Amino acid sequence: MIGRVVLPDGSDVPALGQGTWRMGEDARLRAEEARALRLGVDLGMSLIDTAEMYGDGCAEDLIGEALGDRREQLFLVSKVYPHNAGPGRIERACEASLRRLRTDRLDLYLLHWRGSVPLAETVEGMEALVAAGKIRRWGVSNLDLADMDQLIRAGGQACAANQILYNITERGPEFELIPELERLGIPVMAYSPVGQGRLPRSAALAAVAGRHGATPFQIALAWAMRDPGVIAIPKASDEAHVRDNRRAADIALTPEDLAEIDADFPPPTRRTRLAML
């Protein structure tokens, strides 16, 4: 069973969703990608993450085509370019995303990364979209600790999530950022939770995988979801990969498993710059 993560407004979402970066860009793969998305929803992975940046809207268009008739089952997340996050532009960007997604609202709209638009203006624009019913809630992506502090001081207390690069080889956010997000009650959305499928060789992952009858990739994905405030959004472009990802949600790592993984992938001991893709 897929766990649930509680958002600041009390609603909850599946801890395992579906990412869509680079999807919808190759017409030859479109039907297979659409089948993968639909299967993921059937298996409970109903949180779908995308962005206007992904293929200049190609991923959003694919989602609209594949899942437009299943809107009520979905929790749709999209992201706005930083240069579109100011007055006027954010409304137009949101409307364009809604058209491509074939829906009248987003469940969560994120600032993709911090740009030159003042955070206070982005917050104001996001809140206006909420008031207009175009989005249900808003959040951010790729914001580090200092950025989050500035966001809150700019009136961003309603921030519903921070989507960051977080996986077994990128544990830097554990030192300061994730504890602060936990304090604020803001969930983490972990993108590239298995490092885009490029995990280093690890005796620990192999051993833990053997004990659970799983693959090292499934163990790494289960690890990313081990805390109740983290939502993982791996991409899967075919049905076999979707099923592999779904299996990870059923893996309960033991304290011994986690200690063994820590030995190969140590937690951070100092502040590091937030990595992003």
Residue 54, domain extent: 4-264
Classify residue 168: in a domain, yes or no.
Answer: yes
Please determine, for residue 158, whether its predicted confidence score (pLDDT) is greater than 90. Answer: yes
- pLDDT > 70: what percent of the chain? 100
pLDDT at 212: 98
pLDDT at 198: 83
Classify residue 110: in a domain, yes or no.
Answer: yes
pLDDT at 177: 98
pLDDT at 69: 95
Classify residue 273: in a domain, yes or no.
Answer: no
pLDDT at 155: 97
Q: What is the pLDDT of residues 182-220, one digit of tens each?
A: 999 999 999 999 988 788 889 999 999 999 999 999 999
Please determine, for residue 4, whether its predicted confidence score (pLDDT) is greater than 90. Answer: yes
Please determine, for residue 250, whether its predicted confidence score (pLDDT) is greater than 90. Answer: yes
Classify residue 272: in a domain, yes or no.
Answer: no
DSSP conformational letter for 11: -
pLDDT at 219: 98
pLDDT mean over 43-47? 98
pLDDT at 46: 98
Classify residue 133: in a domain, yes or no.
Answer: yes
Q: In 3D, which of 37, 41, 46 has the Cα closest to residue 14?
A: 46
Classify residue 274: in a domain, yes or no.
Answer: no
DSSP conformational letter for 72: G
Classify residue 250: in a domain, yes or no.
Answer: yes
As a whole number of angstroms, the distance between CA 100 and CA 173 comes to: 33
Domain count of the fold of the chain: 1
Classify residue 208: in a domain, yes or no.
Answer: yes
pTM, two decimals, is: 0.97
pLDDT at 196: 81
Torsion of CA 218, 220, 222, 224, to 10 degrees: -150
The CATH number of whichever domain residue 209 belongs to comes to 3.20.20.100
Please determine, for residue 170, whether its predicted confidence score (pLDDT) is greater than 90. Answer: yes
pLDDT at 28: 96
